[in-house]
Amino acid sequence: MATPKNRHPAHDGLRERWVRTLLAVRRPEADLPADTPSPYAYADDLLARWAEPHRRYHTTDHLIAVLDRVGLLSAHCSGPGEVAAVSLAAWFHDAVHLPDRSANEERSARLAERALAEAGASPALAAEVARLVRLTAGHDPAPGDTGGEVLCDADLAVLAGSPQEYAAYAAAVREEYGFVPDEAFRTGRAEVLRHLLGLPSLYRTRYGREHWEHTARRNLATELELLSAGEGGGADGGASGATDGGEARSSGA
């Protein structure tokens, strides 16, 4: 559990935000087992995960940013139910994050399946949230997968920050993967950047394409130039095969 020493200033508000989202979609109280845990227990567990001391980029601030971007893009979803599923997926998408381990998205998806079923969500909702979480391993939702498009765009919106914001982001992720040697990190990251820049579009929602695409591509190209010159770390990855990477990996956008 997040302690008073490392508790985020938005901790209490986030707890209430989680509870509102869960209560809006879980089964009626009368249909739940008597020993169903309080919704706050799940909020506390998730917030403790996001506050783990080894995190530098994948922190509570990242959770807040993704939740806020999901709200910004919510009109792209098919309705309130899908917005809720995407919001829950945002809570879980980096809930398991061990930089020196692989398959963090898969572990996060399995956590979502277990926790949501126990918390009173329907099996269909738990499965959908887990599916959305798994999409963040490659950020490549199928055309028409509006929930997946919103979550992936929300997660990748950080690539469209100002030069100062992007540099701070890159530094934080590099610190998170500090155990990867510089040369290996630069090589793996450059491969990821080239993949991203080769995509027809980084973003799938109309808002993302109109507001983020140009700036994100400029940031990625600038970082690639720095990496090619032997400078800098990397915004979203590590050595190929050595880490899970950050928001974008060689397996997808």
**Which residue is listed with tokens 């809930």?**
95
Give the model confidence (pLDDT) of 180-199 as tens digits.
999 999 988 898 889 889 88
Given a cut of 50, is residue 98 above it in pLDDT?
Answer: yes
Asked which of 25-34, 205-214, 217-226 is least confident by mean pLDDT, the reply is 25-34
Q: Please, is 90 exposed, middle or buried when counting C-beta atoms within 10 Å of its C-beta (0-12, 13-18, 19+)?
A: buried
Mean pLDDT of 57-68: 97
Nearest-10 crossing angle of helices 39-50, 11-25: 130
Q: Please, is 250 exposed, middle or buried when counting C-beta atoms within 10 Å of its C-beta (0-12, 13-18, 19+)?
A: middle
Neighbours of 216 (CB within 10 A): 22
Domain boundaries, the chain: 11-157, 159-228
Given a cut of 60, is residue 47 above it in pLDDT?
Answer: yes
What's the CA gap between 191 and 6, in Å, rounded? 35
The whole-number pLDDT of residue 244 equals 37
What's the CA gap between 134 and 122, in Å, rounded? 19
What's the CA gap between 135 and 85, in Å, rounded? 13
**Which residue is listed with tokens 């695409």?**
213
HEC letters along 49-71: HHCCCCCCCCCHHHHHHHHHHHH
Give the model confidence (pLDDT) of 143-153 as tens digits.
999 999 999 99
Neighbours of 174 (CB within 10 A): 24
Q: In sequence order, what are the residues at sequence separation of 6 or more whose Cβ sits closer than 8 angstroms to the Cβ of residue 65?
A: 157, 158
Q: Does domain 11-157 have CATH number 3.40.640.10?
A: no
What's the CA gap between 132 and 22, in Å, rounded? 16
The larger pLDDT score, comparing residue 156 to residue 192, is at 156
CB 199 within 8 A of CB 233: no
CB 169 within 8 A of CB 233: no
pTM, rounded to two decimals: 0.89
